[in-house]
Chains A and B, each alone.
Chain A
């Protein structure tokens, strides 16, 4: 029989870490994601898989512990919520600069500053445009269900190691706190020291042997010419990621006259808006980016070129992903179609009806 659990999104992250063969979790509690650390502490994976779980003294310490673990070629991760992730951004930039793989989970809450503990999606820019300094990208996954909170841990580690980049799961308080069914997969074993040495010998600090020079995990390079080459190597890898790893889901696109583009919890709310609109005979489609970086720009441009009348972007912020949707439309299509933003701020959440009212208002404007 299938192994199904009814659990919170945050608990799913913890279980995904254990089952996904994670070697170490380093974190510091913050609402609304504290259950990640709590669940790990309760399940005591150090007694079963040997996974290390450590409550660090701060977020800054956590991310630097992640740096250390990642430099050794281990599957390591941390999780936090918005203000805590801000504290980590220096470390994330260093991880990107040193080309180290890791997983960072952000269960977003409303900001700026300490803000509120209620759900928000206002860290989109921080996640996809950098956050830290320097020309870098993380692969950003946007889970929209508790199942994806579990699955994306596996996917996140796979992507991080395939490209040697930090991967972020950008969730929010809704997805973190809600409970849904999760189909659990079988235990994926942690890598052995031999496997790590074989797989990551070219970069991981697994101990020098006579066959190669020392591996050094650093983002520092004082020779600008060499630093430019390192940047070019990173950029080439980012282009490769953009080419291969764009992930999205779409519904009702065959005959759609209006399209909603929404990620994470907003995509769930908007999917009900779509059902309501379709019951009323309005032809509405929904595109849900699963990766926020790389972004499904090509597909959005195709939709614009194919004659969609307008695109509504509901997100729990003041208008962030909508900029990428506009860029996609303007950059990839000769047709000028309107792209509208609809949001709530500071931890307030819209209902499916709220989005529907906005969609009708905008489509009426278009028709009138």
Chain B
């Protein structure tokens, strides 16, 4: 088993940390993982993205130009990464700010309004785990227990109290995501 995921959006949306939580959950399950960010000026107010590869064998190339699944959180990322999902793959996107919806018909497309829901629940800082909850519903590459265990082990002491809220956000994300194509 091997899953190559691109997570892409604006800097500040928690793109890189979402990737880290996913990768950490993989480690919890004994998987081999790599986490490769686009680093540098791309992250300053512009787009941020990270490639997470996980599987049961050591990851060969951490660099990928074709993805099994894409988590898209803004329009620029949609334009850039929609064509890079492999046929039969999955694209998940947050509808907020998307003016041009995906056009591919050879991939599964799922949508969620995590931005809106996170705001309604007063948990905008849990936006990324909400999206992760949606992603894992469609693509259960790791269990939500592993995610929680990963959070427990990777979050600093002061942030441990946010874990229940993150669990709630993941459940909300799982319930809200809907298949479009």
Binding site for B on A (CB under 8 A): 4, 6, 31-32, 117-118, 173-174, 177-181, 265, 268-269, 271-273, 275, 349-354
Instruction: Decide: B61 and A177 in contact? CB cutoff 8 A.
Output: no
Give complex CA distance A4, B40 in Å. Answer: 27
Contact of B63 among A6, A180, A275, A351 (CB under 8 A): A351
Contacts of A273 in B (CB 8 A): 61
Contacts of B27 in A (CB 8 A): 4, 6, 181
Contacts of A265 in B (CB 8 A): 62-63
| A177-B36, A269-B63, A349-B63 given; A6·B23 CB < 8 A | yes
**Can you list 8 contacts pairing A with B, beta carbon distance less than 8 Å?**
A117-B39, A174-B36, A265-B62, A265-B63, A269-B61, A269-B63, A271-B60, A349-B63
| A174-B62, A271-B61 given; A180·B39 CB < 8 A | no
Contacts of A180 in B (CB 8 A): 33-35, 59, 62
Give complex CA distance A31, B20 in Å. Answer: 21
Question: Nearest A residue to B16 by beta-carbon distance?
Answer: A179
| A6-B24, A178-B34 given; A351·B62 CB < 8 A | no
Q: How distant is A32 from chain B, measured CB to nearest CB, in Å?
A: 6
Contacts of B37 in A (CB 8 A): 177-178
Instruction: Decide: A179 and B20 in contact? CB cutoff 8 A.
Output: yes
Give complex CA distance A354, B66 in Å. Answer: 12
B96, CB-defined interface residue at 8 Å = no
B154, CB-defined interface residue at 8 Å = yes
| A272-B61, A353-B65 given; A179·B39 CB < 8 A | no
Q: How distant is A351 from chain B, measured CB to nearest CB, in Å?
A: 4
Instruction: Decide: A6 and B35 in contact? CB cutoff 8 A.
Output: yes
Contacts of B155 in A (CB 8 A): none
Q: How distant is B151 from chain A, measured CB to nearest CB, in Å?
A: 13
Give complex CA distance A246, B39 in Å. Answer: 33
Question: Nearest B residue to A146 by beta-carbon distance?
Answer: B34
Contacts of A350 in B (CB 8 A): 63
Instruction: Decide: A275 and B60 in contact? CB cutoff 8 A.
Output: yes
Instruction: Decide: B33 and A181 in contact? CB cutoff 8 A.
Output: yes
Q: How distant is A18 from chain B, measured CB to nearest CB, in Å?
A: 19
Q: Which of the listed residues A117, A173, A180, A351 has the most CB atoms from chain B within 10 Å of its own CB?
A: A180
Interface size band for B: 20 to 34
- For the complex of A and B, the 7 pairs showing the least CB-CB separation, nearest first, are A272-B61, A351-B65, A179-B35, A272-B60, A271-B60, A269-B61, A178-B36
B41, CB-defined interface residue at 8 Å = yes
Q: How distant is B141 from chain A, measured CB to nearest CB, in Å?
A: 16
Contacts of A181 in B (CB 8 A): 27, 32-33
Instruction: Decide: A118 and B40 in contact? CB cutoff 8 A.
Output: yes
Give complex CA distance A78, B34 in Å. Answer: 26
Question: Nearest B residue to A286 by beta-carbon distance?
Answer: B60
Contacts of A349 in B (CB 8 A): 63
Contacts of B62 in A (CB 8 A): 174, 178, 180, 265, 268
Instruction: Decide: B39 and A173 in contact? CB cutoff 8 A.
Output: yes
B119, CB-defined interface residue at 8 Å = no
Instruction: Decide: B61 and A352 in contact? CB cutoff 8 A.
Output: yes
Give complex CA distance A271, B59 in Å. Answer: 10
| A6-B27, A179-B35, A181-B33 given; A117·B61 CB < 8 A | no
Question: Nearest B residue to A179 by beta-carbon distance?
Answer: B35
